[in-house]
């Protein structure tokens, strides 16, 4: 099966995710991990906040970063599977994932029957 359309979507989404990640944090070695960045002007700003507010803001950034990073990993893994020829196979039953499902979510790792097995984010 030809997955050029899925690959195009995945590459597009990866670009967007990298942009978001770079806005929130900075890339560690080989863009495999991101950490929240506190910029100099933000640090000054944070001096005027009490500790609770600062922690809350930082925790929110870290949470957002983690969600985007997780998504980025999914996209990255899907692209790797396309390259290795294992893309579009349900990781639970080993059957082909429905084309419609891949169109809706190109980084899907399970078929429609098994998609509920994934814990909610
Ligand atoms: Zn399945």
CA 22–ligand 1 middle distance (angstroms): 35
d(CA 111, ligand 1 centre) in Å: 4
Helix 51-84 and helix 4-24: axis angle, to 10°?
160
pLDDT of residue 104: 92
The conformation of residue 95, written as its DSSP 8-state character, comes to P
Q: Are 64 and 37 in contact (CB under 8 A)?
A: no
Give the DSSP H or E segment for 51: helix 51-84
34 has which bridge partners? 27
Ligand 1 centroid from CA 95, angstroms: 6
**Cβ neighbours around 77 below 10 Å, total:** 14
How far apart CA 77 and CA 13 sit, in angstroms, is 13
Task: Please tell me the distance between residue 114's alpha carbon and the centre of ligand 1 in angstroms.
Answer: 5
Cα 87 to ligand 1 centre (Å): 13
pLDDT of residue 110: 95
Helix (H, G, I), strand (E, B) or coil at 13: helix
Per-residue pLDDT of the chain (121 residues; tens, 9 = 90+): 689 999 999 999 999 999 988 887 755 434 556 666 665 555 555 555 677 777 888 888 888 888 999 999 999 999 999 999 999 999 999 999 999 999 999 999 999 999 865 455 4
Break the chain into its structural domains and give their ranges.
4-88
The model's pTM is 0.71
Helix (H) or strand (E) holding 25: strand 25-27
CA–centroid distance, 67 to ligand 1, in Å, is 24
pLDDT of 22: 83
Between the CA of 12 and the centroid of ligand 1 the distance, in Å, is 26
């Amino acid at each position: 099966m030809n997955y050029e359309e899925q690959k195009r979507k995945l590459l597009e989404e990866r670009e967007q995710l990298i942009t978001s990640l770079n806005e929130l944090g900075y890339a560690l070695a080989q863009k495999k991990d991101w950490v929240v960045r506190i910029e100099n002007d933000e640090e000054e700003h944070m001096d005027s906040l009490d500790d609770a507010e600062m922690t809350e803001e930082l925790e929110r950034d870290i949470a957002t970063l983690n969600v985007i990073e997780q998504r980025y990993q999914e996209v990255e893994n899907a692209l790797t599977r396309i390259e290795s020829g294992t893309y579009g196979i349900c990781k639970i039953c080993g059957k082909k994932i429905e084309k419609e499902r891949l169109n809706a979510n190109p980084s899907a790792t399970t078929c429609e029957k098994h998609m509920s097995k994934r814990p909610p984010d």
